[in-house]
Amino acid sequence: MSAPRGWSTTTCGHCRELRPCHRRILGQWVCQTCVLRFRRAPGPCPGCGGLKVLAFYDARRRPACAGCTGHDPVYACPACGREDSPFGRHCGPCTLRQQLTELLADPSGRIHPQLQPVFDALLAGPRPQTTLYWLTRASARPDILRDMARGELEISHAAFDALPADRAVNYVRDLLAALGVLPPYAPAVERIVPWLRGILTELPKQHAELIDRFARWQLLRRLRLLAERDRVTRGGVQHARAAILGAARFLRWLDEQDTTLATATQAQLEDYLVCFPGRGSA
């Protein structure tokens, strides 16, 4: 590697490798790798007590920060001055604030009011670097938040129902529910939705529509109301799934009897209950 102009290749005072060194740390020329390592390891400054990069000697020859030793603040975030959380040119919190502002901005450029709790919570997390890493991974689906902020995706459980229910999507959904952006929901209940979608694709169109309406307006609605009071049980979820399968079977049976729900006679319904005891009611 050839040294950029102004750098001299010399023995790094820290790692002892022969490398381009452009900065002095504790009086020694140090290579770029060692500067980065140093930057990531701040300590309490004996002068100001702050968590700082101790790259300079003070008058008593103690490693201290730039501010306490009259040096330029080369390790400080240019926006806020902190030295304890480096991330690129700025610090982690400033970078995160900027990226979250971009991610969660509505078309007017302000944080979408409904997503303000997301902004606050992610910014207050213990490790901004972790959140920043999450934001850069497309597979983690931060785009869902962006689309919601821009009004391209509704901020609702229904919007999530239309997305693949994979881990990344569920994570965003859980986050929104935990922060109160979305109403509380029970994952066991909401997992019925993608499962239902699979069932519906197997059914003739007119059956699928009926079952879909029945599932959403009767079963899921009831379960979601229970979920709001934290009263969903495993049995309740199983019952709902069984009812959906039972209803699908019932419609198929009606077809086989050459009749429809509207024209089925009481006698036929009773026949059905005899054929499938305990499964016809839902």
Q: Which is nearer to Zn ion, 52 or 146 (CB)?
A: 52
Q: How crowded is the C-beta side of 190, counted as CA atoms within 13 Å?
A: 23
Q: Site for Zn ion (CB under 5 A): which residue of 65, 181, 237, 244?
A: 65
Q: Give the interface segment with Zn ion, choosing from 30-38, 121-129, 168-176, 217-225 (CB under 5 A).
A: 30-38
Contact 52, 84 (CB under 8 A): yes
15-54 b/e (C-beta count within 10 Å ≥ 16 → b): eeeebbbebebeeebbbbebbeebbeebeebebeebebbb
Site for Zn ion contains 207 (CB under 5 A): no
Cα 98 to chain centroid distance, Å, stands at 17
In Å, what is the CA distance from 219 to each residue of 50, 242, 274?
58, 11, 24
Q: Which is nearer to Zn ion, 24 or 222 (CB)?
A: 24
**Cα–Cα distance, 80 to 219 (Å, whole number):** 53
Q: Which is nearer to Zn ion, 98 or 265 (CB)?
A: 98
Q: Site for Zn ion (CB under 5 A): which residue of 25, 53, 54, 94?
A: 94
Q: Give the interface segment with Zn ion, choosing from 58-66, 180-188, 214-222, 249-257 (CB under 5 A).
A: 58-66
Q: Give the interface segment with Zn ion, choosing from 12-20, 116-124, 165-173, 189-197 (CB under 5 A).
A: 12-20
Q: Site for Zn ion (CB under 5 A): which residue of 79, 168, 193, 200?
A: 79
